[in-house]
Amino acid sequence: MPTTTTPAEEHQERWHTIVDDPLLSELPYKVETNRRGQIVLSPHSAEHSDRQGDLIALLYEHGGEGRARPEFPIITPMGTKVADAIWVTAQRREEMKATGDPPTLAPEICVEIMSESNDWEEMDEKRRLYREAGAEEVWVVEADGSVRFFADDELDHSELAPDFPRQFS
């Protein structure tokens, strides 16, 4: 009897193939997939990594009970997307684990950091995908260090981490 897999399971299987490939693990790029499972590469810069590290430190300072993680993969209908940083509570992480690896359920907060290889069209799509996967908020850090907070609409501040600064360097 043939077995059937869901699109999410197909994306998870494809992701495991990518993660297990020793040649791909050596690439100095952020690796994601599109809806067809094709690899999408984005270059890293030292400035991007610095901003990511600073953001994670601020999440620990202002985020309350939870954990910050860098480069977190999330299965979406449009492939595996990798948030630059996330904030997740222990309860949500357990719920996420139950959906597989990578999870199809997003953490409470997903953060994208704009770089020269991004534009707002891509950010709008990622915001939509993370929200559809269950993220309560999606934050976008612009090139000047300003932070924009989104739920259904843009917020004046994060409702999950209300003291998180709107600007950092």
**What confidence tens digit (pLDDT) does each residue in 47-58 have?**
989 999 999 999
Measured CA to CA, the distance from residue 130 to residue 111 in angstroms comes to 10
CA distance 168 to 75: 29
**Distances from the Cα of 120 to the Cα of 11, 71, 124, 133, 142, angstroms:** 25, 19, 6, 20, 10
- Given a contact cutoff of 8 angstroms between Cβ atoms, the answer to whether 133 and 76 are in contact is yes
User: pTM above the 0.75 mark?
Assistant: yes
Question: Which tens digits make up the pLDDT trace of 106-153?
Answer: 999 999 999 888 899 999 999 999 999 999 999 999 999 999 999 999
Give whole-number Cα distances, 145 to 148, 157, 158, 164, in Å: 10, 15, 16, 13
